[in-house]
Amino acid sequence: MGGAVSAGEDNDELIDNLKEAQYIRTELVEQAFRAIDRADYYLEEFKDNAYKDLAWKHGNIHLSAPCIYSEVMEALDLQPGLSFLNLGSGTGYLSSMVGLILGPFGVNHGVELHSDVIEYAKQKLDFFIKTSDSFDKFEFCEPSFVTGNCLEISPDCTQYDRVYCGAGVQKEHEDYMKNLLKVGGILVMPLEEKLTKITRTGPSAWETKKILAVSFAPLIQPNHADSGKSRLVHLPPVAVRSLQDLARIAIRGTIKKIIHQETMSKTGNGLKNPPRFKRRRVRRRRMETIVFLDKEVFASRISNPSDDNNNSEDIEDERREEEETKPSELKPDPPVNFLREKVLSLPLPDPLKYYLLYYREK
């Protein structure tokens, strides 16, 4: 699945393309997508494909196409403080983006069939928390993952405000999925080859909306051949935040407000420098001809007499563009993590500073 938008050179350009194509439509979803680099969830040898609008699978590791994740995030209508259940949580990429919106008082649970994928997801989550400056721009609802088949969730589990299933759901399991929702909740899942949004409007009332045609691998059915018994999946308990955690959240929130006020008083509008947008170069391409002959395909490149001139013009245009933009495109200073700087400047013991910074490496 995927291929609905052009590939980007980096994560921001991919998001720009998703916005332009109206897959990303709200500011909250845009912020979450920009905060987490999709390439960080790829194995090193496959990162060249990270910014293409394509699904990726390697062994049990799987990522849906960016356009699919965009539609899912928009359809879920996420808000701070909600509870979220991700069925087939995979790499944790989607769960982490959701966690940025849910905030510190949300609930963020995932169920994944393969234990090796859960280990991979935990490594990627740890990497994001410890190394990404984006982490300090949000208050994060950290996802918790459990191993098991999402069709065997214990019947006494709590219901959720938002549920997403990342595999094709057979019609006979539709009611099972609906029962995971609270009244007023939203379920998004692939059902009968359509990405479907179901809203629970009452104890036995539902609204259904088909979003777009998709092709997902079907849910794996439980296998009881070994023991003959169901292996119930017990979801994590909804934990109450410790007083220590609440204090950290409150202190970080207060520092962020102070930084915002200081920035506003210095600049008047809260922006020190307007963001710079990369200019895309339009390059002329040679004409290609594809010939179909008796079920064989032959591709040939036809030379155009003006190609050489065009190439010269391209080089001249690029040189001129580089000269025009050179002053503003000198290596920009890396963005400053003001929260980190402010915490480190406080007259506090080092262990407390490190606690406020989640023991982050950067």
Closest C-alpha to 182, from 155, 163, 209: 163
Q: Where are the beta strands (DSSP E) in the chain?
A: 56-58, 61-63, 83-87, 107-112, 144-147, 160-165, 181-191, 194-202, 205-213, 288-293, 296-301
Q: Can you tell me the distance from the alpha carbon of 29 to that of 15, in angstroms, rounded to the nearest whole number?
A: 10
Task: Let me know if 114 is exposed, middle or buried by CB neighbors in 10 A (0-12, 13-18, 19+).
Answer: middle
Read off the tokens for 15.
């998001």
Say how many C-beta atoms besides its own lie within 10 A of residue 292's C-beta: 8
Handedness of CA 215, 22, 12, 34 (dihedral sign): negative
Q: Can you tell me the distance from the alpha carbon of 356 to that of 353, in angstroms, rounded to the nearest whole number?
A: 5
Helices 93-102 and 27-35 cross at an angle (nearest 10°) of 130
For residue 23, give the 3-state DSSP assignment. coil
Using DSSP, how many helices (H) and how many strands (E) does the chain show? Answer: 10, 11
303 assigned to active site: no
Distant-in-sequence, close-in-space partners of 157: CB < 8 Å, separation ≥ 6: 180, 234, 235
**Residue with the two structure tokens 């990369």:** 278
Catalytic residue among 6, 64, 230, 312: 64
- Active-site annotation, residues: 64
